[in-house]
DNA sequence: AAGATAATAT
DNA sequence: CATATTATCT
């Protein structure tokens, strides 16, 4: 197979995040991963599979909200589901480590049974996702690979898979009602064909070739999509965010609701995302893949975009890839 | 609607 | 067996 064509892979290797962007971890609580890794309910039948646990020493936090889930079907009864919440505030905060979560915990914090909070796909994150998919080509755009290319800390394969599923539906849906024209990325131009305005998806400039090329075409001539090396401000991202400004709230239970990712009516949001640390995290091996994947896939990305506007129409400022965006 | 998780397929 | 895709649930 023509590995020679891997121009996309050309050279992302060396674009790791700046060393100094690590914000002071305000991590007061156990890292979810850690917790999860440790706490996996190990009794019950089939263990191992809940999710992959990669032990990495990430210090950043994840955002993610917590969602409690419970059993419902009679077929699988018994399951001590305890609901636990954890929160934290990355930005500007400092860590007030009031002893919570730790050991003695003065009250009642099972601290066990920790689930992973919901990931909030913010536009930036999605953008990364799309870029990754674009660069991989529809063919290689499978969850694992995408995840790796995105290099977003805390992002799991399932996260990507789930999102990918939705994204595919979105693409299909669009194909349906878009005649072909043009592609104005993002479409949205005048209205009408905007279709479902899937908020999130609509915000990123869907790569052209996505909309066509149905399955069955083994050929792939991906156009030239490449990221200009150098000069890009890449912010780091971490798959997380904050439980948003909820200052006054006792560090105990807090209703996870409300992601701050989508402001109901405002101009923009802003959250510092951090890219996954170049930490020597164990790199999963890529099996047969012609691609020369040596160093940990880390990509430098460009991210910038605004949120749609609030009332009435929306103007997308972020134009499509004009060379690079 | 958005994301997780169970079920199923490769 | 690991990973991908599909289906369901919350």
Per the structure, the residue whose CA is closest to nucleotide B1 at C1' is A198
Indicate if CB(A143) is under 7 A from strand C: yes
Q: What is the pLDDT of residue A176?
A: 73
Per the structure, the residue whose CA is closest to nucleotide C1 at C1' is A49
Q: For the segment A80-129, what is each residue's pLDDT rounded down to a tens digit?
A: 333 333 333 333 333 333 334 344 444 444 555 677 889 999 998 999 99
Q: For the segment A153-189, what is each residue's pLDDT rounded down to a tens digit?
A: 889 999 999 999 999 999 888 877 765 544 444 444 4
Indicate if CB(A145) is under 7 A from strand C: yes
Which bases along strand B come within 7 Å of a protein CB atom?
1-7
How many Cβ atoms are within 10 Å of A56's Cβ, its own excluded?
18
Indicate if CB(A283) is under 7 A from strand C: no
Q: Which pTM does this prediction carry?
A: 0.55
| Residue A166, nucleotide of least CA–C1' distance | B2
Q: What is the pLDDT of residue A199?
A: 81
How many Cβ atoms are within 10 Å of A80's Cβ, its own excluded?
10
The pair of three-digit structure tokens given for residue A297, joined into one six-digit string? 């896939």
Q: What is the pLDDT of residue A196?
A: 55
Stretches where chain A sits below pLDDT 70 are: 1-113, 178-197, 208, 211-325
Q: Which residues touch strand B (CB under 7 A)?
A: A 50-51, 64, 67, 69, 75-76, 115-116, 118-121, 158-159, 161-163, 165-166, 196, 198-200, 261
Å from the A152 CA to the B6 C1': 25
Q: What is the pLDDT of residue A141?
A: 93
Q: What is the pLDDT of residue A153?
A: 86
């Amino acid at each position: 197979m023509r590995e020679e064509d891997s121009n996309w892979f050309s050279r992302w290797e060396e674009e790791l995040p700046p060393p100094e962007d690590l914000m002071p971890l305000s991590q007061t609580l156990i890292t979810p991963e850690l917790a999860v890794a440790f706490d996996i309910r190990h009794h019950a039948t089939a263990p191992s599979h809940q999710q992959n646990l990669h032990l990495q020493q990430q210090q950043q936090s994840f955002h993610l909200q917590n969602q409690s889930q419970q059993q419902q079907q009679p077929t699988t009864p018994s399951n001590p589901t305890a609901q636990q919440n954890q929160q934290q505030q990355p930005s500007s905060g400092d860590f007030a480590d009031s002893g919570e979560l730790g050991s003695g915990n003065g009250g009642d914090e099972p601290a066990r049974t920790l689930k992973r909070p919901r990931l909030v796909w913010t536009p930036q994150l999605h953008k990364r996702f799309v870029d990754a998919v674009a660069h991989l080509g529809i063919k290689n755009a499978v969850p694992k690979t995408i995840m790796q290319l995105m290099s977003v800390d805390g992002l799991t394969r399932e996260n990507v898979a789930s999102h990918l599923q939705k994204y595919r539906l979105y693409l299909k849906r669009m194909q349906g009602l878009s005649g072909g024209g043009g592609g104005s990325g993002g479409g949205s131009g005048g209205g009408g064909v905007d279709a479902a305005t899937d908020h999130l998806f609509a915000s990123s400039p869907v790569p052209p070739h996505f909309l066509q090329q149905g399955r069955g075409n083994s050929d792939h001539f991906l156009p030239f999509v490449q990221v200009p090396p150098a000069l890009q401000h890449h912010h780091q991202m971490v798959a997380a965010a904050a439980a948003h400004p909820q200052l006054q709230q006792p560090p105990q239970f807090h209703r996870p609701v409300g992601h701050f990712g989508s402001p109901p009516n405002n101009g923009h949001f802003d959250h510092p995302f951090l890219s996954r640390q170049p930490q020597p995290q164990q790199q999963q091996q890529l099996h047969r893949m012609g691609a020369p994947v040596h160093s940990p896939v880390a990509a430098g990305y460009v991210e910038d975009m605004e949120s749609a506007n609030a009332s009435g129409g929306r103007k997308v400022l972020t134009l499509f890839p004009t060379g690079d965006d």
